[in-house]
């Protein structure tokens, strides 16, 4: 044989990226908060995560799956704060103060989280998979509230919390922390 065979084409090494799926979920939350669910696409999520578009179909079977996992992560994050605040409360009065702080500081304190919550509510009205996310979130919230309040009061208080959040998110004149305090104490009388 004359001449030598060309060297084998060098392959690009595979990138080991075990955190990519988590980054895609976080990127989905970023895109949802910035653009809304309606403008959230595989392409936008991949761009935000700085990964190839093919990563989306590798890690997720559909955009619905991505949205469900992203909103589940958001709900879990908020529920964890809820659990921590109510677990630290020593009595019913401290629990009422924990609820006030949850609404005024945690739920309304972050524009990013507030927008994600509203986007979840709207999307869940149309998508059964997302409704399951909100149902699980409400059940966890009620369970935390039931440490200090009976089941009926916990359910009503949970609905009041959601109403206060939506009202503040949509109002040009949202309630002040003192008005939130008054509403919660008034309900708990």
Cα 114 → chain centroid: 9
Residue 34: inside a domain, yes or no? Answer: no
- Tens digit of each residue's pLDDT (9 = 90 or more) over 19-51: 889 999 999 999 999 999 999 999 999 999 999
**Domain for residue 132, yes or no?**
yes
Let me know: does 85 contact 98? Beta carbons within 8 Å.
yes
Q: Write down the pLDDT at residue 3.
A: 57
78 conformational bin, left if phi > 0, alpha if psi -120 to 50, beta if neither: alpha
Please indicate, yes or no, if residue 5 is contained in any of the structural domains.
Answer: no
In a domain, 43, yes or no: no
Task: Assign residue 74 the CATH number of its domain.
Answer: 1.10.357.10
pLDDT of residue 1: 53
Kindly state whether residue 59 falls inside one of the protein's structural domains. Answer: no
Quote the number of domains for the chain: 1
Q: Where are the alpha helices (DSSP H) in the chain?
A: 20-35, 42-49, 54-59, 63-88, 92-101, 111-124, 128-145, 151-170, 177-188
Q: Output the pLDDT for position 18.
A: 75
Domain-embedded: residue 114: yes
pLDDT at 52: 93
Q: How far apart are CA 44 and CA 28, in angstroms?
A: 8
Residues of the chain short of pLDDT 70, as ranges, are 1-16
What is the tally of helices (H) and strands (E) in the chain?
A: 9, 0
pLDDT at 2: 54
d(CA 34, CA 29): 9
Predicted pLDDT of residue 5: 62
In-domain check, residue 7: no
Give the domain extent around 96.
Answer: 64-188
Query: Does some domain include residue 53?
Result: no
């Amino acid at each position: 044989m004359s001449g030598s065979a060309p060297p084998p084409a060098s392959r690009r090494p595979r990138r080991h990226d075990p955190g990519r799926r988590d980054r895609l979920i976080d990127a989905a939350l970023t895109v949802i908060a910035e653009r809304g669910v309606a403008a959230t696409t595989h392409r936008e999520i991949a761009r935000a995560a700085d990964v190839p578009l093919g990563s989306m179909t590798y890690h997720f079977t559909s955009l619905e799956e991505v949205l469900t996992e992203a909103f589940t992560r958001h709900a879990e994050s908020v529920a964890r704060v809820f659990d921590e605040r109510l677990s630290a409360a020593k009595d019913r009065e401290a629990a009422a103060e924990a609820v006030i702080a949850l609404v005024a500081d945690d739920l309304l304190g972050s524009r990013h989280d507030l927008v994600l919550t509203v986007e979840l509510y709207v999307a869940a009205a149309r998508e059964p998979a997302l409704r399951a996310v909100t149902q699980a979130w409400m059940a966890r919230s009620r369970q935390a509230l039931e440490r200090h309040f009976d089941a009926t009061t916990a359910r009503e208080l949970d609905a009041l919390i959601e109403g206060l959040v939506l009202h503040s998110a949509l109002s040009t004149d949202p309630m002040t922390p003192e008005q939130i305090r008054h509403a919660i104490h008034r309900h708990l009388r």
